[in-house]
Amino acid sequence: MKRLTLIAILALVVLGGFGWNAPVTAQQPSKGKILYYRNAMGLPDTSPVPKKDQMGMDYIPVYEGEEPQGNQVSISPEKVQKLGVRTEAASRRTLTRPVRLVGTVQVDERRLYTVAPRFEGWIRQLYVNATGHTVKRGEPLMDVYSPELVSAQQEYLIALGGQRALRESDAQIQAGMEQLAEAALQRLRNWEVPEDELQRLRQEGQARQLLTLRAPVTGVVLEKAAVQGMRFMPGEALYRIADLASLWVLADVFEQDLGLVHSGQKVNVTVNAYPGKVFSGKVDFIYPVMNPQTRTARVHIDLPNPNGLLKPSMYASVELAAGQGGAPMVTIPTSAVIDSGARQLVLIDKGEGRYEPRPVKLGVQGDDYVQVLEGVKAGEPVVVSANFLIDAESNLKAALGSFGVPAAEPAPAPPGGHAGHGAGSPTMMPKGQ
């Protein structure tokens, strides 16, 4: 036993004579002098010698040239390359962000027409006898018979004949007959008898028993109350026709997006029936009241429909590009922001693997960019990828943990003992505080 103990002691002496120190010398030749060891989890604790934390994790060595300077953190070029750090310069731009709405396709109320005769009569012949039928302007809808209409035509013909017969009579009599003829003609016009029918009546001098009612517009029959042989009363709606060449989309805008929507704004509309096809329209009107339950306001959008692909009552997805307006503003990519909840920060690339954490005050946000009100100037490069990895790798949490605390003297540089904060990470006050 004594012999084995002696052999072990001699072995340790020999290895010590060769300077064997595995944890230290294995890394020194490639990276230089080790200044101190920092906590692997980013806690503000350092050690002049290798050690483990409470979880059994080894402290990470900090080599000469990697120590933070001022409020900056340093990362070796090899680690920067491994982390895939990418930067982008802050720049001035006008921010836009899409506002997405959901709505339904509706008939344009201004393109609705009703066929409602102004006289009493009966339907003798029905030409358009189905709902959904497409009609063209001037196409015959039905032939009607009306005793009142026939009587009015005869009165006009009598007055017109008397006017011709009394051409040589007293001027006062001629004026009276002319007034009678004009009154009978105006009565027919008030009943919306077409002008070509009145012209025929003058030329032929014979009243017709049937009057053909024609479509007032090119469109689709939405409602049909007319039945062949039925009697109708003045003002009774026999057809309801809609011109579907242009439609409305009624959509709801949330209260927070209402300021981004205005009349005349161009929109893109898609429907499930035609995947990938985009229909272009524009905001025509914003309703002046809000729905108190959903906290939304309704807008109607004019949407051309020349090919008739869109149908009323379709669901529609609406997207409009909402500009923030005004002059271009300083912006950075949204991926550059590290949001701790209490404040937002970015990493400024100072070159040669040095990064400065800087608090920022943010403004309006677009799709991929956000306005910077304070903290970053146009042209300054900010880290847009791997910024959270830099946070973990460079003990950034310890450096940022001191923001908002009154300035203090920097901790003594290791290896001189344990420091209350990470070495090279002095407490500092952010801008504007």
- What CATH number did the domain enclosing 312 receive? 2.40.30.170
Same domain assignment for residues 121 and 231? yes
Same domain assignment for residues 136 and 198? yes
Same domain assignment for residues 299 and 314? yes
Q: pTM to 2 decimals?
A: 0.57
Q: Is residue 61 part of a domain?
A: no
Q: Is residue 408 part of a domain?
A: no
Helices (H), 234-360: none
pLDDT at 418: 42
Same domain assignment for residues 122 and 213? yes
Looking at the 3D structure of the chain, how many domains does it have? 3
pLDDT at 56: 83
pLDDT at 397: 46
Query: How far does Cα 391 stand from its chain's mean position?
Result: 33
Same domain assignment for residues 169 and 260? no
Closest CA to 239 of 81, 131, 105: 131
Q: How far apart are CA 219 and CA 111, in angstroms?
A: 9
137 Cβ contact list (under 8 Å, min separation 6) = 215, 216, 217, 218
Same domain assignment for residues 251 and 214? no
Domain harbouring 371, CATH code: 2.40.420.20
- Whether 28 and 34 have beta carbons less than 8 Å apart is answered as yes
- Whether 104 and 248 have beta carbons less than 8 Å apart is answered as no
Q: Which one of 192, 219, 236 terminates a domain?
A: 236
What domain range is 371 assigned to?
73-95+327-394
Q: What is the mean pLDDT of each run of 10 residues along the chain (433 residues)?
A: 42 39 43 76 74 83 65 70 82 82 93 94 94 93 94 88 74 78 88 89 88 93 94 95 95 88 91 93 92 92 92 93 71 84 83 82 81 88 76 51 40 42 37 36
pLDDT at 346: 87
Q: Is residue 64 part of a domain?
A: no
Q: On the CB side of 89, how many CA atoms lie within 13 Å of its CA?
A: 6
Residue type, 21: N
Closest CA to 207 of 144, 245, 155: 155
- Helix (H), strand (E), coil (C) string for 321-358: EEECCCCCEEEEEHHHCEECCCCEEEEEEEECCEEEEE
300 Cβ contact list (under 8 Å, min separation 6) = 106, 248, 249, 250, 251, 283, 284, 285, 287
pLDDT at 239: 96
Q: Positive or negative, the Cα torsion across 73, 78, 79, 80?
A: positive
- Whether 97 and 257 have beta carbons less than 8 Å apart is answered as no
Q: Is residue 104 part of a domain?
A: yes
Cβ atoms within 10 A of the Cβ of 371, count? 17
Longest CA–CA span in the chain (Å) reads 163
Sheet with 231-232, strands from edge to edge, namely 210-214, 140-145, 121-126, 231-232
Residue type, 283: V
Same domain assignment for residues 228 and 154? yes
Same domain assignment for residues 88 and 103? no
Same domain assignment for residues 266 and 206? no
Q: Is residue 178 part of a domain?
A: yes
Helix (H) or strand (E) holding 220: strand 219-224
Q: Is residue 264 part of a domain?
A: yes
Q: Which one of 187, 217, 236 terminates a domain?
A: 236
Q: How far apart are CA 225 and CA 155, in angstroms?
A: 31
Q: How far apart are CA 347 and CA 391, in angstroms?
A: 9
Same domain assignment for residues 231 and 154? yes
pLDDT at 341: 74
- Whether 353 and 67 have beta carbons less than 8 Å apart is answered as no
pLDDT at 393: 53
